[in-house]
Amino acid sequence: MIRKLTLKKEREHETNEASIAGNVMRDLIAHVTNDNLIGRKIKSGELRKKMVEPPWKCPDMFTMTTIEMEHFTMEWLELKENPNEQKVILQLHGGGYIGAMRNAYRTFAGLYNEVSKGMSVLTIDYRVAPENPYPAALEDAVSAYQWAARSGLVCRGYHCAGDSAGGGLAMALCHYLKDHGMQLPCGIVAMSPWTDLMASGESYDTNYERDPLFGNTRDSLIYNKDYVGDHDPMDAYISPLYGDFRGFPPMLIQVGSYEMLLSDSVSVASKARHQGVKVRLSIYDGMFHIFQMQQKCCQNPEKRGLRLENLLMFCQMTDIHINRKTIFIGDIGFPLDQWSEVIN
């Protein structure tokens, strides 16, 4: 769905060209968030906080086990047959530190399993603000690591993966593990990571009018202080950008060029590189915050086990006109029987 351009090795980052599907999804989200009522709830995180979902149905190829910890739960996803026992993936979900686990992250666990050739995935449903501000999320991430270490999983080697706040938390966890002499992951995968809770990057201004999820307001999730509370937002365990990255494992960072959080990725990548860390930064032209998740929600069910109905449910929360045959985005109509061609 995303077509990569040919790049020279010496470039600071990869630039990737968005597909028609990505552009359509971006415009759809922008249309939704421009609605005064629903847009405000999406941007502020209110809708994310109150989201109610049906029970997730685990695909037949996997087994899902819930692990009860003292303050939180975890979910262990592995293949029923021939699981890859060499390494595991520790997944930290996004949600601005105020949104708990969603079914999308259970789906992501399956995708991580697929692209890693069968690695099992441990997803942490860590505590969130405002009920549980910093350091609750980091404490739970550390507890999950310690559980994995006691279970003999860490010694095999492991990777950390996360999006948005989860991407920042993955880096914050690595800062903590390094500071306390614990085994670091083999690598970090971060999608649109939130690494600077000071909101100091230039993209907070330059992309203010372009970001379809957080733009055109300062009353949004990325300015929410419930997690930080009275703590210093420049603490590396809160905003990993301000930490020392020397000794970090290789990092893959993906971000959209339209994001207000673009600087969070660019600045971390630049700093980590100058401190000797191998970093691959991929900037996707015209894309928005966690575009990977929105596009996965629209893919062919036979390919990913996801349903078009997810998109329809999302649209039906807005004034976008939908009938059984057509989705209208503004005055443009997309026949549903052609939608799979548009998004694949």
Q: Which residues are catalytic?
A: 164, 259, 289
Would you give the DSSP letter of residue 322? B
The DSSP bridge pattern shows strands 119-125 and 279-285 to be unpaired
Q: What's the CA gap between 43 and 340, in Å, rounded? A: 28
CB 123 within 8 A of CB 91: yes
Q: What's the CA gap between 134 and 128, in Å, rounded? A: 9
CA 212 to chain centre: 16
- How many residues are listed for the chain in this entry? 344
Which residues neighbour 93 within 8 Å (Cβ) at sequence distance 6 or greater?
99, 100, 101, 102, 105, 123, 124, 125, 126, 162, 163, 166
CB 94 within 8 A of CB 49: no
Q: What's the CA gap between 314 and 83, in Å, rounded? A: 34
Q: Tokens for 127, please give them.
A: 């505590």
